[in-house]
Chains A and B, each alone.
Chain A
């Protein structure tokens, strides 16, 4: 609902302030978001294709991108599975501390990334609460790619949980009972009735967690070790290139990451509209 704006002769708005507020919105949006983003792309176009290609395919850059994208994908996959497990427990079961654990899910959203970074590092360091027992087993987490993976899992948890949870809550339990009364066993009910209804939400949560982990910086760099080609993430390489005043390199890496992020957002939008157009299961 709203007052219509476009139109011919004498058409006016009932509520005042459209010109002023729209003007301010577009101006401020341009200054803070659009012009800076355009600047990044303009800067990229100052590079020749060969230069751009050379930067992006240099060994160190390529490795950083591989590490960021590969580990982010793996971490998002873990979040997908564990997110569904957590949602299932929170929504379907009653256990002591359930409400607290429900609240705890939001902490990775709310905790500043630097705090998460040092906390995870100390936790998984060789003498840390978890690092020490793991070291006994010969597993080294902090300052290895495994550390990056752990931090990315931490940062991605809320995305899957908070997108899937409302869908499972809204899911009508009658369809389960109907399926059950038709003789389906529990596994059939879950795999054929419940999971298909959750799939759009699960994919959305996965994509959001993936996108977030690719760009994540604060919670990762402390635990990462930051060894070039081994445990150096792409955002860190941007920072390093900047400190070396190699702006072109920083820009090229940033553009690759940004385009990937936009593609993921686009994919999420497609998933959403696909889910809306699907004939509802209930």
Chain B
């Protein structure tokens, strides 16, 4: 072995990773940063919620206001998820099972709500349905209440969660193609039979994935809902809005108790998401050998 070879080898092993000290610093920085900015806030939610003990925690939750907020949040999320589920399935079918001009532009339009600030999302509906808005006076004359009521909250929530289900399904269905559906049709199945017996079973994990993310956002949405809700206590306060009110009134245990429920929701969502992603990876189409 010559000297030349030795030095080259040393360089090669050296150049494949960083010196131990550098590795140590990078890992330390990453861990410290995530701990300070993410882990500590999350831990703090639960610590504050239980700071006066378990009893105080639960009595904060079963306050009538708390229960009303939980009920409203569940209602709004249920309606929004249902609407966006139907929309997502319908839109994904139209977009992935047919060829037409302007397809990618349509997908961009469906994605738009993701790039709109939550406050602006709420503002859009105030401009439509508020007293100075386009339909405000007409609604007023007909005694229909949209803003500062459940319909407004639902609309704002549907807007901010609009892309979730469609976005989960479109790439999945694009990848799966149309052959199985064509086979079903040529075997005499109707459109609905094809959808329910062939398409839906193939995309079920994708549907759950979209619904999961849509639901998490629907329950947690703050900015958009805050603008349209009017903050009527016991009536138009969702859980995130109640968290704000309680916090501003220095009722920290109660605020963090409600917040801890939302944090649990987030954690459960993340766990289920990981499980669903595993199923989605497995569900690749059967191909030939």
A residues engaging B (CB < 8 A)? 1-6, 13-18, 21-22, 24-25, 28-29, 32-37, 39-40, 42-43, 82, 85-86, 88-90, 92-93, 95, 97, 101, 103-108, 110-123, 129-130, 150, 153-154, 157, 173, 176-177, 179-181, 183-186, 188-189, 211, 214-218, 222, 235-236, 238-239, 242, 245, 247, 250-251, 254, 257-258, 261-262, 264-265
Interface-forming stretch among B57-65, B85-93, B138-146, B202-210?
A: B85-93
- B169-202: CB near A (< 8 Å → 1, else 0) gives 0000010011001100100001100110000000
B residues engaging A (CB < 8 A)? 8, 11-12, 14-19, 23, 26-27, 29-31, 33-34, 36-42, 44-45, 48, 87, 90-91, 93-101, 106, 109-110, 112-113, 115-120, 123-128, 130, 132-134, 155, 158-159, 162, 174, 177-178, 181-182, 185, 190-191, 194-195, 216, 219-223, 226-227, 239-241, 243-244, 247, 252, 255-256, 259, 262-263, 265-267, 269-270, 273-274
| Contact in complex: B243, A238 (CB < 8 Å) | no
Alpha-carbon distance A282/B288, docked complex (angstroms): 28
| Contact in complex: A3, B98 (CB < 8 Å) | yes
Q: Is the interface of B mostly helix, strand, loop or mixed?
A: helix
- Give every chain B residue within 8 A of A15 (Cβ-Cβ): 97-98, 178, 181-182, 185, 191, 194
- Give every chain A residue within 8 A of B95 (Cβ-Cβ): 25
| Contact in complex: B252, A215 (CB < 8 Å) | no
- Give every chain A residue within 8 A of B115 (Cβ-Cβ): 211, 261-262, 264-265
Residue among B18, B26, B37 with most chain A CB within 10 A: B37
> From A216, which residue of chain B is reached at the shortest CB distance?
B117
- Give every chain A residue within 8 A of B112 (Cβ-Cβ): 33, 37
- Give every chain A residue within 8 A of B219 (Cβ-Cβ): 112
- From A2, A33, A150, B178 is in contact (CB under 8 Å) with A2
Alpha-carbon distance A274/B102, docked complex (angstroms): 21
| Contact in complex: B37, A157 (CB < 8 Å) | yes
| Contact in complex: B223, A93 (CB < 8 Å) | no
Q: Report the minimum CB–CB distance from B285 to chain A (whole Å).
A: 12
Alpha-carbon distance A197/B182, docked complex (angstroms): 41
With A103-B270, A107-B266, A112-B221 already in contact, the answer to whether A85 and B30 are too (CB < 8 A) is: yes
Alpha-carbon distance A22/B220, docked complex (angstroms): 30
Alpha-carbon distance A103/B273, docked complex (angstroms): 11
